[in-house]
Chain A
Amino acid sequence: MSVLVRARELIGRPVVTLDGDDIAQVKDLVFDNVSGQVDGFTLNGRGAFAGPLPEALAWEAVYSCGPDAVMIRDRHALTLRDSVVTHPDMSEADVLGSRVISEGGRDLGQVVDVIVLVASVADVVGYEIESSPELSTDRRHLLIPLPDTLSVSGEALIVPEAAIEFVSGDFAEFGAAVEAFRARLRATT
């Protein structure tokens, strides 16, 4: 089973053991900036005044990632933060606000969220952008698909020109748009 989620919806989601205890909540997502996969989560403690935890949660240790909770087997699933957050990784916070530029040099808009396809792995498949006048006249939020691999600098995000054809305004249809876009890229390379 796979499901598309907005990264921002994952932030704050409780991390719950199979014994039914909420031991943390998602602070941020950590992406591998080459593979485009989610490496894991940094964590906050639970409760209004709880700050960041020294532990993080690697994706391999996630039991399931559901609409209401991230499930883990037990608290041993958490690891030291440094083993999940390695140097070239990017977090959701780094990507938000970045400009999305096409390979042809067109400014498509500004990232407002990251779209993740959650299955056995969690893959970054798109950005939600506040579109520039290049794409639409009314600064609408649009979804833009990403290739299997992406390069992220934190300053600007470069996407293939063909991505523009697969831009979607509809979250429900976006999964199909990503597949079609990636199939097109594979066919042309």
Chain B
Amino acid sequence: MTLFSEATGRPVISTESARTVGVIAGFIIGTTSKRIIALRLSKTTVDGDTLRWDDLTAFGPDAVTVPSEAIIVSAREPASELSVEEAEVVGKRLLTDAGAELGIVDDVEFDPATGALQHLITAADRVAGDRLIGCGKYAVIVHAV
């Protein structure tokens, strides 16, 4: 399992050119699939700032590999079911569908093989990723237990 905080800053390398095309700056999640659907990149050497999860070759412990530099897209293209502002979960309040706050999402644990969200982590709690319902401007919503 990997944490968003651990993976942020990890380089994204093209296996075609063996060059770094950018580093991971953020994660765009799908609330229906409950997994990472794209990576937001910074320091890109190509046009574009978004890498769709389905386009990456491997999410390795030291680097993310992609088949070619051309795979990096721009966030203006519809890479996700959510806008970037809505899709970020870290730093947002965590709210159950019963209307109770659980705290602020500090980090997220995910499976690097699939991108599936394992846990949403707050200061006091670890909430199973499959409880995720929605993620908006105000809060991340999860099923109450």
**A: which residues have CB within 8 A of B?**
14, 16-22, 63-71
In the assembly, what is the distance between CA of A66 and CA of B100, in Å? 5
Chain B residue nearest in CB terms to A22? B138
Listed stretches B17-25, B39-47, B110-118, B129-137; interface member: B129-137
Cβ contact within 8 Å between A20 and B99:
no
Q: Is B124 an interface residue (CB 8 A)?
A: no
Q: Is B97 an interface residue (CB 8 A)?
A: yes
Question: Which residues in chain B, 115-145, are within 8 Å of chain A measured between CB atoms?
Answer: 133-141
**B: which residues have CB within 8 A of A?**
31, 86, 92, 95-101, 133-141
In the assembly, what is the distance between CA of A66 and CA of B139, in Å? 14
Cβ contact within 8 Å between B136 and A70:
no
A14, A19, A69: the one contacting B135 at CB < 8 Å is A19
Cβ contact within 8 Å between B96 and A66:
yes
What residues of chain B lie closer than 8 Å to A63, measured between beta carbons? Answer: 97
Chain B residue nearest in CB terms to A46? B138
Cβ contact within 8 Å between A20 and B100:
no
Cβ contact within 8 Å between A16 and B139:
yes
A22, A64, A67: the one contacting B97 at CB < 8 Å is A64
Cβ contact within 8 Å between A68 and B99:
yes
Cβ contact within 8 Å between A21 and B99:
no
Question: 8 A–B contact pairs at CB < 8 A?
Answer: A17-B136, A19-B134, A20-B95, A21-B138, A22-B137, A66-B96, A69-B99, A71-B98
What residues of chain A lie closer than 8 Å to B100, measured between beta carbons? Answer: 66-69
Q: How far is the CB of B61 from chain A (nearest CB, A)?
A: 32
In the assembly, what is the distance between CA of A82 and CA of B136, in Å? 29
Q: How far is the CB of B120 from chain A (nearest CB, A)?
A: 12
The 9 nearest A-B residue pairs measured at CB: A66-B99, A20-B136, A22-B138, A21-B136, A19-B134, A68-B101, A69-B99, A20-B134, A66-B100
Chain A residue nearest in CB terms to B93? A68
Cβ contact within 8 Å between A68 and B95:
yes
B95, B99, B138, B140: the one contacting A65 at CB < 8 Å is B99
In the assembly, what is the distance between CA of A16 and CA of B141, in Å? 9
Chain B residue nearest in CB terms to A14? B138
What residues of chain A lie closer than 8 Å to B101, measured between beta carbons? Answer: 67-69
Chain A residue nearest in CB terms to B31? A19
